[in-house]
């Protein structure tokens, strides 16, 4: 039977079929690219959903960046220019409270810069990282990676690696390659990302002496890649100085999915599997009622027993974990358990009142009362995967929270800045 069809409708159906998208806007939950923003190109703007205008949102994001990167050097900014070298401008982000520079904050600064199209700041931070933190000595146990800590003059305070820095460096570099194109030398972003990512997965073990100034001696250390091959998990540290375990807040499945598509082809399957392992790990490592997670956990998600109790409780490192699973849901939409986790977490913090603390036992006993702006920020990001209407309260609290200043402005300020981008629909896959 012949059916007469409106030409416009014919064209609409053809485009739908060619694009591979289901009819009636149904979610593509079975495809390799999932059903999130990577597949759809649509990023939720939680601020707009809460009724704020795009003009207001733009002003809030730009104002926060201006304060944290170019504000008063004594009370506001965490970004400082540090002269030039043969590769151009040098700049670092610094932990004001502890008077040091960390690969964590440098890589955060780079990913913020690429999201906001700030290539000058991006290149300056990358130049400082490569100049002072990059370990080029081929017999060094940390060869090919970045020392995690240095003084503001570039003198290394540690010779060890904190893999969360490398994870953000790699992703920021890939995004920069796509957004700005590749330059030469250290500014060939894709080549730099490929080299670093391959080492994170494959670098051979190296044994060598590492200076330990606090012990006034050198120690023989063995270290290899930053991911455990058998468990397909990021390590807290690759060094033989520590037992092998992980940190839930280092797990970034949203990034691993990108690496499986953009990185060296021989490792693509590993990164796909690592993404799924991390999704399961979020569920295993979080408390079944509060959804709070420890700072450190073994590969089976059991608590790491170390001196002191920092790693056993929900504390500063652990702030980030909910943001990691929520962004993974936002970009990929592959694991609905992430929605349940956000609902549980926000239900817990709602039960603590509007001035909740920032350090807790996993079952919810408050240990530190300070209402931390960085935690407020990540609890708002959790709304990307939450289903309960209470999620809007957390977004609105972030909206009403000023950019961090003073001693705590480094870590909490960078989490705050990234949260504005996430909640404003501007933390994107370029």
| Domains in the chain: boundaries | 42-76+245-328+335-430, 78-226
* HSE-up (13 A, CA, CB side) for residue 129: 30
Query: Looking at 317, 335, 405, 412, which residue is catalytic?
Result: 317
- Whole-angstrom Cα distance, residue 284 to residue 306? 20
Q: What is the pLDDT of residue 310?
A: 81
How much is the pTM?
Answer: 0.92
Determine whether 340 is an active site residue: no
What are the helix and strand counts (H, E) for the chain?
15, 10
H-helix segments, 336-429? 337-351, 373-381, 391-400, 411-423
Q: What is the pLDDT of residue 311?
A: 87
- Whole-angstrom Cα distance, residue 427 to residue 419? 9
Phi, psi (rounded to 5 degrees) for 94: -125, 145
Q: What percent of the chain has pLDDT over 70?
A: 93
Radius of gyration of the chain (CA): 22
Determine whether 317 is an active site residue: yes
More confident residue, 316 or 2: 316
- Whole-angstrom Cα distance, residue 29 to residue 19? 15
Going by their DSSP bridges, the two strands 100-102 and 359-360 should be labelled as unpaired
CATH number of 78-226: 1.50.10.10
Q: Among 19-33, 143-157, 174-188, whose mean pLDDT is lowest?
A: 19-33
Residues 6 or more apart in contact with residue 317 via CB below 8 angstroms: 247, 249, 295, 296
CA distances from 367 to 8, 69, 303, 330 (A): 62, 32, 18, 31
Q: If you average pLDDT over every residue of the chain, what do you get? A: 92
Are 42-76+245-328+335-430 and 78-226 in the same CATH fold?
yes
Considering the four listed CATH numbers 1.50.10.10, 2.60.450.10, 3.10.20.30, 3.30.360.10, the one that applies to the domain covering 42-76+245-328+335-430 is 1.50.10.10
Residues 6 or more apart in contact with residue 386 via CB below 8 angstroms: 326, 339, 342, 343, 346
Q: What is the pLDDT of residue 240?
A: 85
DSSP annotation of 23 reads: G
**Residue 25 pLDDT greater than 70, yes or no:** no
Query: Looking at 100, 104, 164, 343, which residue is catalytic?
Result: 104
Q: What is the pLDDT of residue 84?
A: 98
Give residue-wise pLDDT tens across range 47-64.
999 999 999 999 999 999
For the record, the structure tokens of 332 come out as 């990929």
Q: Among 71-85, 228-242, 286-300, whose mean pLDDT is lowest?
A: 228-242
Q: Is 349 in contact with 358 (CB distance < 8 Å)?
A: no
Q: What is the pLDDT of residue 213?
A: 72
């Amino acid at each position: 039977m012949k059916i007469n069809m409106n030409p416009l409708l014919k064209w609409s159906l053809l485009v739908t079929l060619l694009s591979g998208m289901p009819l009636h806007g149904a979610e593509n939950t079975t495809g390799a690219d999932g059903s999130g923003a990577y597949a759809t190109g649509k990023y939720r703007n939680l601020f707009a959903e809460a009724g704020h205008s795009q003009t207001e949102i733009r002003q809030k994001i730009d104002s926060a960046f201006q304060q944290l990167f170019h504000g008063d050097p004594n009370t506001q900014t965490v970004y400082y220019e540090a002269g030039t070298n043969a590769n151009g401008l040098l700049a670092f982000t610094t932990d004001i409270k502890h008077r040091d520079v960390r690969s964590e904050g440098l890589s955060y600064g780079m990913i913020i810069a690429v999201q906001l199209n700030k290539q000058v700041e991006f290149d300056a931070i990358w130049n400082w990282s490569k100049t002072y933190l990059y370990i080029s000595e081929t017999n060094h146990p940390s060869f090919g990676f970045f020392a995690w800590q240095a003084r503001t003059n570039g003198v290394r305070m540690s010779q060890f690696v904190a893999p969360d820095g490398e994870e953000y460096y790699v992703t920021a570099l890939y995004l920069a390659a796509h957004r700005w194109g590749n330059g030469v030398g250290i500014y060939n972003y894709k080549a730099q990302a490929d080299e670093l990512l391959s080492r994170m997965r494959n670098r051979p073990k190296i044994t060598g002496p590492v200076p330990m100034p606090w012990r006034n001696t050198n120690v023989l250390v063995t270290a290899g890649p930053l991911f455990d091959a058998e468990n397909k998990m990021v390590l807290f540290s690759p060094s033989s100085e520590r037992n092998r375990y992980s940190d839930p807040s280092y797990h970034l499945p949203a990034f691993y999915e990108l690496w499986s598509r953009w990185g060296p082809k021989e490792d693509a399957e590993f990164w796909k599997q690592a993404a799924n392992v991390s999704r399961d790990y979020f569920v295993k490592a979080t408390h079944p009622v509060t959804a709070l997670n420890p700072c450190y956990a073994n590969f089976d998600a059991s608590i790491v027993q170390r001196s002191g109790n920092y790693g056993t409780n929900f504390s500063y490192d652990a702030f980030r974990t909910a943001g990691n699973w929520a962004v993974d849901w936002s970009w990929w939409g592959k694991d609905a358990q992430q929605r349940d986790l956000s609902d549980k977490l926000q239900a817990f913090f709602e039960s603590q009142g509007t001035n909740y603390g920032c350090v807790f036992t996993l079952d919810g006993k408050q240990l530190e009362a300070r209402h931390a702006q960085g935690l407020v920020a990540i609890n708002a990001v959790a709304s990307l995967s939450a289903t309960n209407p209470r999620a809007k309260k957390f977004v609105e609290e972030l909206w009403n929270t000023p950019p961090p200043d003073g001693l705590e402005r480094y870590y909490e300020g960078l989490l705050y800045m990234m949260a504005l981008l996430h909640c404003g629909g501007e933390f994107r896959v370029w």
